[in-house]
Structures are given as structure tokens and as C-alpha cells.
Structure 1
């Protein structure tokens, strides 16, 4: 009987520890997550251009984003990707997508931000 009490008690403690609240992310962690999302968006913009999405379509979609910080990053990325020579877009598609993704992430991470005013965004 005592054996079962100990096993049940251990099981209860284990299940309760799984229910504890997650650690609240620091502003730096939130910004890093945001910048990762910006990099993913840059990759998607590159992929869209490689697949024939026009600049006008990309811009119209990005204009729907109401967060100023996110919109600024997206518009800058659209400008960069659509200024890239079209004939070079198909040379190594995956490498080019990774390049634009990394550059956008790095640019975002270097950008100063206000920890009290984080961008409102949905992960890409």
C-alpha cells in the first residue's frame, strides 16, 4: 500500500510540474523571435517573386500589415528583392532565398527597438 502512495505522489508532483506557467520572454527574446519572423517573410517574398508574383501584388499584400515597424521591414524587403536582377533569380533558388532571409534577419537584429513598445505581428 505504501508503495502505491509513493508512486501516486510522485506522479502527481510530475503532472503538476508540467502545468507550471511558461517563463515570460524577455524583450531581447521577443525581438529575436520577431526578427526571425522578418527573415522568414523575406524568404517568402523571394519565393513569391521567383514564382511570378508581381511587385504590385506583393506591395498590395504588405500594405495590409498595420504595424508600422513590420510594414517598414516588409516594404524594404520588397524593394530589395524586386530590384534584384530577374535573370539571377533562378540560378540557385534555395540559396538565394536563404541569402535574403539571413540578410533580413541580420538587419532586423541590428535595428534598435523599444523594449516597451514591441511590434504587433503574426509569425510568418
Structure 2
């Protein structure tokens, strides 16, 4: 019983250890994961008949220029797709756009980390 307590205490301490700071590349990858998740959400909105002008209105509230550019690009791309394509495989369309924009973001040159809230 005592060994079990010691093991549990050791696991708890490991869980509480400080995380190492992320490298700029790790931070960018985290940001790009959020961009991909935003693309998936925009596709979901399109599939649920949210109008493009409403999506643009919402995107224009984003203050960070890098994030706003990505979001507006995603909106243009998603709303240009034929409705039949986005509704024939609903989950597949969401996953495809998430992956595409995560990869596009990762491949985008950047200097500074955008100011964003993880999505």
C-alpha cells in the first residue's frame, strides 16, 4: 500500500512539473493548428447555411492582421466550393479543409507570432 502511495505521489509531481517554453516553431505549429480548426468551423458554418456575408462580418472583427488574412482566405475558399461537394461527405469535407489550411499555414513564412486565442 505504501508503494502505491509513493507511486501516485510521484506521478502527481510529474504532472505538476513546469512545461518547457515552446520554441518559435512549436508556437507557429500551435497557431497553425488553430487556423486549421477555424477552417473546419467555417466549413461547418457553410454546411449549416450560414451566409457568407455573416461569416465575413464576423471575420472582420478579428484584430490580428495575420489571423484575419487567413480567416478571410478560408471564407473565400469554402464559399466558392460547390454545395454538392461540401454536403456529399460532410465530415470528410471538414477534415479536408482543416488539414489543407493547417498545412498552408505551416508553409507560410512568418516573422512574428500572431496575437491569437487558441481555437
Which bin holds the TM-score, normalised by the shorter protein? 0.7 to 0.9
Please say which of residues 81-90 and 47-56 is displaced more in the overlay.
81-90
| 1:107-118 matches, cutoff 5 A | 107-114=104-111, 117-118=112-113
Partner of 2:51: 54
Change (3 A) 1:45 1:23: same
C-alpha separation between the residues in 2 aligned to 1:32 and 1:50? Answer: 27
Partner of 2:85: 88
Specify the SS of the correspondent of 1:122.
coil
List alignment gaps of at least 5 residues for structure 1.
none
1:11-42 CA distance string (max 9 Å, x none): 8x946665442200000000000000000000
Partner of 1:102: 99
What TM-score do the two structures reach when normalised by structure 2? 0.87
Measured on the aligned residues, the alpha-carbon RMSD in Å equals: 1.9
List alignment gaps of at least 5 residues for structure 2.
none
Partner of 2:118: 123
Change (3 A) 1:91 1:18: closer
> Which of the two has higher C-alpha Rg?
1
Aligned residue pairs total: 114
Task: After the TM superposition, list the runs of 4 or more consecutive aligned residues in structure 1 that deviate by more than 6 angstroms.
Answer: none
Change (3 A) 1:81 1:16: closer
